[in-house]
Amino acid sequence: MSHRLTSLLPLLLAALFLLSSAHSQTSEKPSAPPTLLGHRYLTFNTIVRVRQIEVTRTEAHGPDESSVHTTAEARIFRDTIAQAWPGARITWAFSWLALHDTREQYRELRELIVSYKKTYGDEITFIPGAYFSNMYNSREQVNRDLHDGLKRVSEIVGGDYRPNSVVAGFLAAENLRYLAEVEGIHVCQGNIWSQYAVDNGDGEGSISYPYYPSRNHFCKPAQGKDDQIDIVNLDGWTVDFLCARIPGSRMVNGERWRSRQGVGPIETLLDMGTERGHKAMMAATASHFDDGFSRNGFAWVTNGWEMGLVEARKIYGYGGRNGIDGLRLWLTETRKRWPDAKLITQGEFGELWRKHYSSNSDINYRFVHRGCGIRASEENQEIRWFMNKDFRLALLKNWKDNGTEKVIDFTRYDLATPEPADPEPGKNSRNWSLINKINQKGLRPQDQPIEFEKLDPADKKLILSRYPELRWRMKDELWRMRVEVEWWSMNDELWRKRVEVWMMKGSVICGKGRRALGFELWRCLWRCQRRTKSVF
């Protein structure tokens, strides 16, 4: 009997272990779904195409890139991401030609990328018109392209699959509305923040973080419920805020300063090389994942990386570079520096934002960026951006010499802003920008940097209704300048020291925007005025 019990003991113990394991698994609380606030998000999309810029179903510009669109390049690309960031989920967008090309290499490529949905959880979607669909097609034609392209994506993936988002570059308001109301898609990479005089289309004037677009213009945040399209409009590339001021590019001291310098590979890794390009990418990333995170409660960096760039050097040169080492380095370093960051599909991120924000009323994005010292990201410059549904405002100063802060962009969204008409057949409708009061590109006489106090009174009133602390910040700078004028006219060393103390105290008060202590500031000014007999 004892022998039988001894022989059964291992079986009894195994049964108890399985029961306890099953109990622990069923009693565990399911992990809470991710939320927007309190997290850093990275989104990464890539384009699969045949020609460089496929502007319509039958017309394309630029070289044939089919030689660098094979399963070999796709594997190198996806394996690099998986090794640098295990668990990452990215978004793949097929062009019209890539969806329909009957060659064996494209059939195999489609099958491989579809397998990544199962392996990694990647999103597979469609891109109409190679970033510039509305610049070459009527709105009606773009809607047909969206419908047929998404249908084709569902066919090649199977299982009634539908993506959560679309990659589009620029997409007109009417087409965004079609996606939301007809196709049931509520996330779109539908604007390229600050792009002007680059490639085949311009769309400068939006805010850089997510928003619900207006029915009047895709760059404009919806002004109310009746104006709102239920789709989250996303930027395509995170760029350096200082570089973004440039219209296109320009040569400075033998180097090309590019407006699109940020996390994208063409303006960084492929242009500057791995070491310098990686430094520029990390500076743009840190601007959001460090300071931006503390100001906005969440942070978002996004990158668009055409799959063909893996070996595009065979077509475009790029100094013999392919950027893969830099991609691996950037992802690895980002994950190491911000271990809580999440790399998810743009559809997932957009839906998280949509779940948190039901309208644009509460969006209030703030950014402060100092240059990294690489090209147009000038080391001595500091730019501050304020973005909400009513306007966007940018202030620039030389922080090293405590220079006067000036307004370089003030774009109002409460003004009438119609989009361009459909392009005429065979022609390009290039400029879809939203530019009104002052624009960062500095192309018009009215775009010259201006002191805040010299803005139109109605514009100042609107700005201060949102950001009253700017009143004290500007008065503080004006006060400093005026005190300095009188500084050397004072012979009393004691009074010099007192004024210095008052300046420091006033700076703290103004810098923090503490209205309750404003009286102390003005008392200091009054004392200084009486002593120096200056007129403030």
pTM: 0.85
127 in Cβ contact with 93 (< 8 Å): yes
Model confidence pLDDT, tens digit, residues 120-141: 999 999 999 999 999 999 999 9
Whether residues 274 and 156 share a domain: the answer is yes
Q: Do 297 and 40 touch, CB atoms closer than 8 A?
A: no
Spell out the alpha helix ranges (H) of 250-395: 269-272, 274-286, 293-296, 313-316, 324-337, 346-356
Q: Work out the mean pLDDT of the chain and round it to a whole number.
A: 88
93 & 212 share domain:
yes
Q: 196 lies in a domain? A: yes
CATH number for the domain spanning 184: value is 3.20.20.510
Any domain includes 433: no
Is position 416 within any domain? no
* pLDDT at residue 114 in the model: 98
Which of 340, 360, 380 is the last residue in one of the domains?
Answer: 360
Residue 71 lies in a domain: yes
Beta strands in 217-329 (DSSP E): 232-234, 249-252, 255-258, 299-304
Cα(22)–Cα(11) distance, rounded to whole angstroms? 17
**Dihedral angle computed from the Cα positions of residues 108, 111, 117 and 120, in that order, rounded to the nearest 10 degrees:** -40
d(CA 359, CA 372): 35
pLDDT less than 70: residues of the chain: 1-33, 472-536
Question: What is the reported pLDDT for 498?
Answer: 57
DSSP annotation of 438 reads B
Domain final position from 311, 327, 360: 360
Integer angstrom CA distances of residue 459 from 22, 113, 412, 446: 64, 50, 9, 14
| 24 occurs within a structural domain | no
Question: How far does CA 509 lie from the centroid of its chain?
Answer: 33
Q: How far is CA 166 from CA 110, 206, 234, 358, 482, in A?
A: 17, 18, 10, 20, 54
Q: How far apart are CA 155 and CA 522, in angstroms?
A: 70
In a domain, 296, yes or no: yes
What's the domain count of the chain? 2
* Per-residue model confidence (pLDDT) at position 5: 40
CB 120 within 8 A of CB 78: yes
> 333, 360, 387: which is the final residue of a domain?
360
What residue numbers bound the domain in which 488 lies?
468-536
Q: Is 374 helix (H, G, I), strand (E, B) or coil?
A: strand
If 0-12 CB within 10 Å is exposed, 13-18 middle and 19+ buried, where does residue 193 land? buried
The number of residues making up the chain comes to 536
Per-residue pLDDT, 480: 53
Nearest one of 248, 195, 249 to 219, comparing CA atoms: 195
> In whole angstroms, how far apart are CA 163 and each of 1, 167, 358?
64, 11, 21
